[in-house]
Amino acid sequence: MLKKTLFALIFGLSFLSVWAKDMKIKITVNNQEFTATLQDNKATQELVQMLPLQLDMTELNGNEKYHQFKNKQFSTQSQNVKNIANGDLMLFGDNYLVIFYQDFKTNYSYTPLGKVDNPKNLPKALGRGNVRVKIEK
């Protein structure tokens, strides 16, 4: 019993240290690089396992870019976030990755994934219209 408990403790600590190391990702759009800090949840863990990704992201409402994963459903912990901020990374439903580049209030529910660390130039980099985004560790 003690061996199993010790193993579980060591395995758990090693998993946490791996996750802490991988909590940062790099997002490249139009030759500009941004780092983002991810939250520790099941959806972000699933996303990190898919990296690196090159995604065609669609413009929506002049405040966000999204990509629909057609063959992937993420685990969700959806919540009414009420306020969206420039740089927020969210999951809408169970298969839409969203990068927000404007602040606004919302009544929609999302699963928070993380946040771009310094999003000041994000709106300009994302531009108007659809864009290709590279996401990697």
Model confidence pLDDT, tens digit, residues 33-74: 999 999 999 999 999 999 999 999 999 999 999 999 999 999
Confidence check: pLDDT of 5 > 70: no
Q: How far is CA 41 from CA 26, 101, 125, 131, 133, in A?
A: 18, 22, 28, 27, 22
Confidence check: pLDDT of 20 > 80: no
Question: What percent of the chain shows pLDDT beyond 90?
Answer: 83
- Domain 24-136, CATH: 2.40.100.20
Domain ranges, ordered by start, for the chain: 24-136
Q: Specify whether the CB–CB gap between 112 and 39 falls below 8 A.
A: yes
